[in-house]
Amino acid sequence: MTIKSLTDIAEKFIRRASTAGAEYKVGVGQVQDWQGPTAAAADSYNAGVTAAISAGSFEKGVRTVSNDEWRRKAQDKGGANYGVGIRTSKEDFTRGYAPFREVIASLTLPPRGPKGSPENYERVRAVGEAQHNAKLGT
């Protein structure tokens, strides 16, 4: 079978996919119910994750990417997208952090002690336990 070279295929992929942002936005906008079908797939998700754990897929996947490749991709992709992600996340951050802020605001901490004292670690422990309990809903 005749097939284009890997270089030609990769170049076409990059050329076509890099201009598909508008189509992506339209497609996402056409989804009527993301949450319902996704929540209904919980059993399938759990089965897939369990199978992946049994097969050692996580470790196998990690071992396919070198430290240099990971770093290059994280810097190139992450660096370009980090600021945009942060700028568009204020509402999400506010909604997600609000309950934890309220937990901190409601605490009465034990008195401070001298620098490095056990009393100061108790203050840290009180905040940590309260935040953890809030996360667990207890």
Token readout for 66 is 């070198």
> What is the spatial distance between Cα 37 and Cα 35, in angstroms, rounded to a whole number?
6
Residue 138, classed as helix, strand or coil, is: coil
60, HSE (Cβ side, Cα atoms, 13 Å): 6
Chain mean pLDDT for the chain: 94
Quickly count: other Cβ atoms within 10 Å of residue 42's Cβ: 9
Report, as an integer, the average pLDDT of 82-97.
92
Which ranges of 18-78 would DSSP assign to H, the alpha helix? 21-30, 35-40, 42-55, 57-63, 67-73
Report, as an integer, the average pLDDT of 10-23.
92
> Tell me: the pLDDT tens digits for 28-62?
999 999 999 999 999 999 999 999 999 999 999 99
* pLDDT level of residue 137 (50, 70, 90 thresholds): confident
> What is the spatial distance between Cα 45 and Cα 77, in angstroms, rounded to a whole number?
27
Q: In this predicted structure, what is the pLDDT of residue 52?
A: 97
Q: CA 37 from chain center: how many Å?
A: 20
For residue 138, is pLDDT > 90?
no
Residues 6+ away with beta carbon under 8 Å from 100 = 131, 134, 135
